[in-house]
Structure 1
């Protein structure tokens, strides 16, 4: 979920816009970008919406863009300066971006346009930080990587399989992302936790499969015809297809196939296990047990306490809480359809989320489960960890471990965790990988 899964929705428009879906290269787009930026600063949501291509206009309400700039200043302080427009290529796609320096943080304003000059991407994201941490040195001679294509329902997702060298019929772990348009490495700023896990586990004799998430590759076109955006179309369907595919690989032990989910992926791991055939076990890292809307309110409140304690901020938190309370009333006569949906996430998504009870689903599973939690995590908290422990109290195949120094991204630190930590280079620590290996090889924690 990451810079905060909240900001993946609220700042990056993660689920629906995802990544870029068309290429542009004309210099004239700098003028278009400047115009959009001016509308952004002036909080002209309707005008921004009108510049979207028709496909996204149908998918998104103007409310998605309402007060984006105001919210940015509320969280990060007044805008101090803006950088020059720069052209950037990523995975064969051309983007324009400018960096915005706020009092407490730097954000990148990023845009793309289609061939007709209509906008198909607008994103706010952290400015990648220069790495100051000493990089972990992996032994590349112990691993082999190759490109793969995976996915379900005709969606082709590029990915990577990482195999330990010199071993046959090895266990494999399929890595399932958090919220938003995640790449295969689950990149946040300079950090790549899924890549770290893949390389670290390969050194320890275990293969991994990681892949670009459907919402990243296909953006608003990520939903099959006749279906809605929900947990299944966002994540679960692809993970199930990859489990089946992994079992056919000659290098893989078909009786040792695991899913490791992080954040939303961890919350969905029980559903994946419930639906997938032949899954050996699941590993949940920072798995939410409470309702999604409750976690959003808690995160907003926590982040606001770090950055803004004004009366206006308290009013905004109260409005978010009102929307969250209304989400709980979906499907009842008490639901107020005049209120904006929380984070402007589509109604079918919330309906699916409300119906899914991850701990209850997990309690009916018989396969081994490992639940891991950072004690400094403010997004998925020790309260969630406690709910998992209580709900699986009688399950002898469920194992639990929390880490005092780790945050949501498995980064070490001290004191209160903040979103700003995610933009500092800090690799996944080795002792987490050692625990994962112990679980896979021994069926428990030693």
Structure 2
């Protein structure tokens, strides 16, 4: 974000408009109980980090030996439904897949819902451990086919899924929903540029913002100590934004940009994991995704996988879908809450058909 006065005002306007409108919007896709399948609240242990995680496992009432998936959420602490602006995309996806014969585990992130742990004190390794723990839990369930357990990751979850799959040969497949294929700092600069341009920020402001935030990301790339980084970021932001932001906002920004999961993400190159991922991969993005732009990321994901010998790769760019896989006009975040659709039926059908081709 370019923190000049014009952009701050625009940012606040977008948020306030969204908050006013989303409360008035229906969510017609949200399923209501009673469900025509088993929906079981579960708790399992992350034995590496010594915390318990809670979630919901759903599977058909009739039959057994079901293929299964674990849903992995995007950035920021989210509950098992991945609820945002009254949308519950993981509930919608889970309901759809379970009604079509696939078991689904969706989990409260650390420090959310009924799960333990601290989200913002956790690096990417912690989220990998959480997903691996969920995988091991599913292998303990007699209702499931233990050789057909896959991962579906959205956004940051699309970074975590290949890491887990590259380290665990038992993962049968992964689905990347707006997963990134370029290093975190490059992605965030590109995201920032596209959102600001779409929102009408002048080109000189966009260029200034790129330069300002690149300086902060460069500090993060070189950092090794969280406390030291926070101090360096505070000094940097005071120098760059001191005339426009009060000290408390600079302190907050410096603290947030020092969170381990965010600094890990900024430093992380998805090639590290994708180059070692040998299972089948489905990668989906929307053409209106301004947060994980499709052309740059889908091309990178496909190229990395193919160059390292994985030919079981399917890639789709879906027209008009935004970062949340809603049918959209602009793709701007202020649209998310005003759209009634929670998750594109077209995208869900593609995911279901692709999984069934590999599990039936």
Q: Does TM, scored on the shorter chain, surpass 0.5?
A: yes
Q: 1:339 aligns with which of 208, 215, 236?
A: 236
Q: Are residues 72 and 221 of structure 1, via their aligned partners in 2, closer, same or farther at CA, if it must alter by over 3 Å? A: farther
Q: 1:433 aligns with which of 342, 348, 351?
A: 348
1:266 aligns with 2:158: yes
2:51 counterpart SS class: coil
Counterpart of 2:240 in structure 1 is: none
Superposition deviation, residue 351 in structure 1: 5.7
| Contact preservation (8 Å) 1:169, 1:253 | yes
Deviation string for 1:243-298 (max 9, x for gaps)? Answer: 01101101111111111100000111111112336221111110111122222222
Counterpart of 1:422 in structure 2 is: 336
Counterpart of 1:96 in structure 2 is: none
1:173 aligns with 2:69: yes
1:292 aligns with 2:228: no
Deviation string for 1:66-110 (max 9, x for gaps)? Answer: x999975341349xxxxxxxxxxxxxxxxxxxxxx84xx255xxx
Counterpart of 1:83 in structure 2 is: none
Deviation string for 1:342-380 (max 9, x for gaps)? Answer: 774227546633653323422222211111111211111
More helix by percentage? 2
Q: Are residues 252 and 408 of structure 1, via their aligned partners in 2, closer, same or farther at CA, if it must alter by over 3 Å? A: same
Larger-gyration structure (1/2): 1
Q: What are the residue-to-residue correspondences of 1:158-237 with 2, within 5 Å?
A: 158-217=54-113, 222=118, 229-233=122-126, 235-237=127-129
Q: Are residues 278 and 319 of structure 1, via their aligned partners in 2, closer, same or farther at CA, if it must alter by over 3 Å? A: same
Counterpart CA distance in 1 for 2:260 and 2:94 is: 34
Q: 1:244 aligns with which of 121, 132, 136?
A: 136
Q: Are residues 293 and 354 of structure 1, via their aligned partners in 2, closer, same or farther at CA, if it must alter by over 3 Å? A: closer
- Where structure 1 has 5 or more consecutive residues not aligned to the other structure, the ranges are 1-5, 11-66, 79-100, 108-125
1:322 aligns with 2:234: no
Q: Are residues 387 and 423 of structure 1, via their aligned partners in 2, closer, same or farther at CA, if it must alter by over 3 Å? A: same
Counterpart CA distance in 2 for 1:350 and 1:135 is: 32
Q: Are residues 140 and 217 of structure 1, via their aligned partners in 2, closer, same or farther at CA, if it must alter by over 3 Å? A: closer
Counterpart CA distance in 2 for 1:133 and 1:353 is: 32
1:320 counterpart SS class: helix
Q: What are the residue-to-residue correspondences of 1:296-307 with 2, within 5 Å?
A: 296-307=188-199
Counterpart CA distance in 1 for 2:316 and 2:170 is: 25
TM-score, normalization by structure 1: 0.65
Q: 1:413 aligns with which of 312, 328, 331?
A: 328
Q: 2:170 aligns with which of 264, 267, 278?
A: 278
Counterpart of 1:357 in structure 2 is: 269
Deviates more, 1:262-271 or 1:307-316: 307-316
1:426 counterpart SS class: coil
1:259 counterpart SS class: strand
Counterpart CA distance in 2 for 1:133 and 1:157 is: 28
Counterpart CA distance in 2 for 1:288 and 1:237 is: 20
Counterpart CA distance in 2 for 1:68 and 1:218 is: 39
Counterpart of 2:299 in structure 1 is: 386
Counterpart of 2:250 in structure 1 is: none
- Where structure 2 has 5 or more consecutive residues not aligned to the other structure, the ranges are 238-252
Counterpart of 2:242 in structure 1 is: none
Counterpart CA distance in 2 for 1:328 and 1:264 is: 18
1:260 counterpart SS class: strand
1:254 aligns with 2:151: no
Superposition deviation, residue 312 in structure 1: 6.7
Deviation string for 1:382-423 (max 9, x for gaps)? Answer: 211111111122421222122112111111124x21112211
Superposition deviation, residue 134 in structure 1: 4.0
Counterpart CA distance in 1 for 2:36 and 2:114 is: 34
| Contact preservation (8 Å) 1:244, 1:277 | no
| Contact preservation (8 Å) 1:294, 1:324 | no
Counterpart CA distance in 1 for 2:95 and 2:205 is: 46
TM-score, normalization by structure 2: 0.79
The count of aligned residue pairs is 330
More strand by percentage? 1
Counterpart CA distance in 2 for 1:363 and 1:329 is: 24
